Structure 1
């Protein structure tokens, strides 16, 4: 079994994660290589592509040590969409904006994942600015080239550029409308887990979409269960029957099992918001002041309400112009109460998604992503939803699922749904009744404030 090691690499918003996994799903080595997220005052949201997408994956592979040398298979996944214009030697010519960047905004309301047109808008922006570029690559494809493989996407990663990619092929008329041809965009493998090349003796699979890979090695498949990815982006999915119920503002995507749906979507209230809030409160805590002094933390009823829209919001509000605000502050509140309020805001966003999906009392909530290691985050999530939270034993879900796809490319597996056999539960967090009751009252206040904030910008909405 030791010879059946496969490696999954995940290019995230703030770090590259890598895992080397054996045939039984045991992680033999893991690595995390942070990179800078550049946030600009004008709505910029970008990476240095060579540092984040080139050197980051190379460094992560090196950090795996012997477990990461000459694996049977290798897969790369990452956030979507992103783009950089490159020359014939795959050197960056342009900045590398990501999802959420002002340059990605099409003005369309993203009722479904395909409606956002962010990938098309980014590709159009890059083509206008660098019309003579050799190629235009998203993060995953750039990383594959940096590792010595052909920059081939799988079909789910390519769908981030819909309708320029129509689900089967790059649309030649739409490419021409952008001033491009098919030679300037990555080749596309028709399904995940196909072999598309080699690096030495290692088989490489097509670069994929993190949102798909996260689901593969998690056993969340029954209606009433939920899966929450606590990463830089907070993503909530409720399992529903197919077809799913109508849920304005949420996205419906197929469940990997093929006979159910996932209803939910991404939010900016994850690590992007929480990291910013923690930095603010670290400064506030060092300055001293009223509230929380000598108390060891807030009481259940002693927490304000924070709307977490510091970078606008994705689902279910789909408004990049929303901004964060704090409510119901008084002189008893100190940094600890505000810190708890930040975590509760992330929990309330999850609960809002679940309510809209008809999953008001989830049977089970499984958590993956870096936040699965954060006790404050998972505690607040349990108490804001009233559900038992089960943390995945391997929180690097996108890299882990991609290691399974690499096994398929190497001929070691044949089925995507079989990846669920790798799932192992880790820490379990149970809500404290007093906090759950207090959170329920604050959640009602959160919904009221959130609806008013959205209505002030776009007119009345269903709260």
Structure 2
């Protein structure tokens, strides 16, 4: 899908941003004032060949970039592209050979839970305290290091050919410029191979677990990786010599897109999964969250994520055959508490704060009189309860959360935003543009290539609305949160047995 809007006939300075997401790739062409001139998107699917595996062919990332760039440029013939921004889901592990051909599909972020044995063994070998001291976080399904070790142990033929490590943004930067770089924020999630305080690769552990892989050069997200090569220009239509930024993981780029990357900010991203990023100056360590480098020098992040959010609502939509407007209207009628339903949203395991890849979805209280609207309401409330669990865990770890900015496709439905504010008791600020990480990537490219004073994101994307919690629902949701926590603890042993049965059936 592509949309173009009015533009000047004479050339105007523009930046192009592309983000590779879990369910789609999105591109945007933006002028120097932040006006969106054209947007384009490509839907794609991930592969789930076994229970707990989530993969994607990395070659699709470049193919979709080429397609998006061509359509965006064609939509605005008066555009003079002066910079290119890239971002993508992560942390992903895409290993390529010396010719930059992928040796296997990319292993995705924390939703892929295959490396449990490697997590356990590496923790035993290195020590949990030392891993947290060096990398900031304990090893979980989000960590890149155990996934590299999994390939080395389980797929020796692929491992024998592997020479380079990429994530979506760095893969695009490589294809566009020929430079082999990775941003610090992404690198800090290749735990335990990155030293968060020294802001460099941990050479000893890199050699131990990723020996034959050439370590990419580390830069910051908004730095310029290089310039578009002649070959890339011929494929994409982007002029040769145009600067390309290093880029970073989509959640962090999305935080940039709404100005939620300053100290004291919390970005709450509504997407296929839910993601939270709190920004500060100190390295906060807690076993149940992810400590990472920030997107920019001098910042640190405490991050978390739900394994399902939009994926859960999409599952219900597909299951019931209804469309989203119908389900939202029926969920509104259902009302707070979903007429006595309580759902655990762990349909793909769960990331933070329980860090339990064997968690599974639970729907408690079902009766014959319940409707699909009740189920949809319970799903919205389940994700909101997960957000509250994460926020409370962050604050307990010392995070100073002063403002919350909501972003992502899920912000288009105001009911979901209201439910999250009601359950958490937090005010959410909503920006004018919620197009996402592609817009943030275009902004970073504009800053990196600015002539004179660089743009400010508050001018490109001002806050236009605040969602405030309804005080009359507070007591109900406080009680529901207590039940939510109790339901997980009470059912997890049985659920873990069922998860094991699912793996056996899948095998």
TM-score interval (norm. to shorter): 0.7 to 0.9
For structure 1, which segment, 294-303 or 155-164, has the greater mean C-alpha deviation from structure 2 after superposition?
Answer: 294-303
Instruction: Name the counterpart of 1:461.
Output: none
* 1:76–1:143 Cα contact (<8 Å) kept: yes
User: What secondary structure does 1:329 align onto?
Assistant: coil
1:43-58 aligned at under 5 Å gives the runs 43-51=52-60, 53-58=61-66
Distance 1:196 1:354, change over 3 A: closer
Structure 1 residue 259, shift from structure 2 partner: 8.1
Instruction: Report how many residues are paired.
Output: 447
User: What secondary structure does 2:27 align onto?
Assistant: strand
RMSD: 3.9
1:25-424 aligned at under 5 Å gives the runs 25-51=34-60, 53-65=61-73, 66-67=75-76, 71-100=81-110, 101-105=112-116, 106-107=119-120, 114-116=137-139, 118-127=143-152, 128-130=156-158, 131-147=160-176, 149-166=178-195, 168-178=199-209, 180-181=211-212, 184-185=214-215, 187-199=216-228, 200-220=240-260, 226-238=266-278, 249-252=288-291, 263-282=302-321, 297-301=333-337, 302-358=339-395, 365-412=404-451, 418-424=456-462
* 1:281–1:338 Cα contact (<8 Å) kept: no
Distance 1:75 1:357, change over 3 A: same
Structure 1 residue 308, shift from structure 2 partner: 0.5
User: What are the superposed Cα offsets for residues 303-348 of structure 1, whole Å, 9 maximum, x if unpaired?
Assistant: 4110011111111111111111001222321111001100111111
For structure 1, which segment, 127-136 or 257-266, has the greater mean C-alpha deviation from structure 2 after superposition?
Answer: 257-266
Distance 1:172 1:415, change over 3 A: farther
User: What are the superposed Cα offsets for residues 375-397 of structure 1, whole Å, 9 maximum, x if unpaired?
Assistant: 34223223222334332222233
* 1:245–1:357 Cα contact (<8 Å) kept: no
Distance 1:443 1:227, change over 3 A: same
Q: Where do 5+ consecutive residues of structure 2 fail to align?
A: 1-7, 229-239, 497-507
For structure 1, which segment, 31-40 or 295-304, has the greater mean C-alpha deviation from structure 2 after superposition?
Answer: 295-304
Which among 10, 16, 19 is matched to residue 19 of structure 2?
10
Question: Hey, what's the Cα distance between the residues in 1 that align with 2:492 and 2:279?
Answer: 27
Question: Hey, what's the Cα distance between the residues in 1 that align with 2:491 and 2:83?
Answer: 48
Structure 1 residue 234, shift from structure 2 partner: 0.8
Distance 1:113 1:136, change over 3 A: same
For structure 1, which segment, 17-26 or 319-328, has the greater mean C-alpha deviation from structure 2 after superposition?
Answer: 17-26
Question: Hey, what's the Cα distance between the residues in 1 that align with 2:290 and 2:194?
Answer: 20
* 2:13–2:80 Cα contact (<8 Å) kept: no
User: What secondary structure does 1:266 align onto?
Assistant: strand
Structure 1 residue 266, shift from structure 2 partner: 1.3
* 1:13–1:232 Cα contact (<8 Å) kept: yes
Question: Hey, what's the Cα distance between the residues in 2 that align with 1:295 and 1:245?
Answer: 38
For structure 1, which segment, 34-43 or 222-231, has the greater mean C-alpha deviation from structure 2 after superposition?
Answer: 222-231
User: What secondary structure does 2:355 align onto?
Assistant: coil
Question: Hey, what's the Cα distance between the residues in 2 that align with 1:385 and 1:447?
Answer: 14
* 1:8–1:402 Cα contact (<8 Å) kept: yes
User: What are the superposed Cα offsets for residues 155-194 of structure 1, whole Å, 9 maximum, x if unpaired?
Assistant: 2222232443445554554444346445x45x32432322
TM-score (norm 1): 0.82
Which among 473, 477, 480 is matched to residue 439 of structure 1?
477
Question: Hey, what's the Cα distance between the residues in 2 that align with 1:362 and 1:159?
Answer: 22
Q: Does 1:19 align with 2:28?
A: yes
Structure 1 residue 83, shift from structure 2 partner: 2.4
For structure 1, which segment, 2-11 or 66-75, has the greater mean C-alpha deviation from structure 2 after superposition?
Answer: 66-75
Distance 1:45 1:344, change over 3 A: same
Q: Where do 5+ consecutive residues of structure 1 fail to align?
A: 286-291, 459-463
Structure 1 residue 91, shift from structure 2 partner: 3.1
Distance 1:41 1:278, change over 3 A: farther
Distance 1:173 1:222, change over 3 A: closer
